[in-house]
Amino acid sequence: MAHWLSQPLSWTTAAVFLASAVAMLLVVLLFVTYAIYFERKVIGWIQLRRGPNRVGPYGLLQSVADVLKLLVKEDVIPDRADRTLFILAPVIAFVPAFAVLAVLPFTETLHFADLGVGLLYYVAVSGITTLGILLGGWASNNKYALLGGMRSVAQMISYEIPLVISVIGVVLLAGSLNLKEIVAAQSGGFWNWFFLKQILGFAVFVVAALAELNRTPFDLPEAESELVAGYHVEYSGFRFAFFMLAEYVYVFAMSALATVLFLGGWHPPIESLGFVPGLVWFALKFAFCVFFLFWLRATMPRVRVDQLMTFAWKVLLPLALLNLFLTALVKELVA
């Protein structure tokens, strides 16, 4: 990719870029299909059930069947809904989810855009999804949707602060916002990965990332016991599918980001294992992050809304700032 990025822009390079982006889209769609299947299987196994096993061998085609079903469902738009915003909302929620993938590096050579401000780009663009969720909840003209949307936005903006501040520690250590340089700063064994040097920052990051992804134990926006479904009550068919898709694409993006920032990206845990390709190491760490999300969903109960907001502002934010201060101080004293 670096070769093509350094060529002057022509139709050939543009075609290569387009082809790589389409390939990424297909990979992500495949990931989402089987992440959903795998999630249901894992939770099934944890709860001593079998999980999906009817559609195709071992239920492997379950998600495909679900998507086809959504595709042929009637698209109901409530009469008094704000039509334009109602149609726009799922698109606004999905586009940033896919756009953030453009900056994630998977190995030394396999990456897309190599932005100097990669991390800032990720943080800034992923914030736009919040807008789509708020619009969806508001445009539905439904009380539950509005409450769910409001709650969702309050949660996402509250946890965005500790999330972005916790990664500043990584930026301090790496001295760069470029994700490739951040990974390069973690070479030479697992003791150089930032999750050890940034153990406090990593803890804050994990909790805040869970809340940003609206995953259990922070899945209040979709608290079905009190809000029916949350911001997407009125959505049906493929519009609903795009909200779900955005959520799972973020699972992909956030797991990849955690791997890049804290788990050493494509670097092997010890130098002598360097003969295994970097992509394998990346995939292993990435898969662990994804599994961790599913594991938590089967383990943790949902937190209460008052605990949720208090926790973000009174615990996570001071901890993230403390981490920032300690990192800068240690760096000043050591250097």
Chain positions 174 to 193 lying near other proteins, rule: CB under 8 A, are 175-177
By CB under 8 A, how many residues form the interface with other proteins? 92
Q: Please, which of residues 292-321 interact with other proteins by CB under 8 A?
A: 305-306, 308-310, 313-314, 317, 321
Q: Decide if residue 78 touches other proteins (CB under 8 A).
A: yes
> Which CB atom, from 45 or from 325, has the smaller least distance to other proteins?
325
Binder among 36, 133, 135, 164 for other proteins (CB under 8 A): 164
- Give me 262's structure tokens: 């804290």
Instruction: Report the length, in residues, of the chain.
Output: 335
Q: Decide if residue 96 touches other proteins (CB under 8 A).
A: yes
Binder among 11, 57, 72, 275 for other proteins (CB under 8 A): 72
Q: Return the half-sphere exposure (C-beta side, CA atoms, 13 A cut-off) of residue 35.
A: 26
User: Taking the complex as a whole, how short is the minimal distance between the CB of residue 185 and other proteins, in angstroms?
Assistant: 12
Q: Please, which of residues 127-156 interact with other proteins by CB under 8 A?
A: 138, 140-147, 150, 153-154
User: Taking the complex as a whole, how short is the minimal distance between the CB of residue 43 and other proteins, in angstroms?
Assistant: 27
Q: Decide if residue 204 touches other proteins (CB under 8 A).
A: no
Q: How far out from the chain centre does Cα 240 lie?
A: 18
Q: Please, which of residues 1-40 interact with other proteins by CB under 8 A?
A: 4-9, 13-14, 17-18, 20-22, 24-25
Which listed range, 47-55, 57-65, 196-204, 236-244, lies at the site for other proteins (CB under 8 A)?
Answer: 236-244
Q: Residue 267, exposed/middle/buried by CB under 10 A (0-12, 13-18, 19+)?
A: buried
> Which CB atom, from 129 or from 216, has the smaller least distance to other proteins?
129
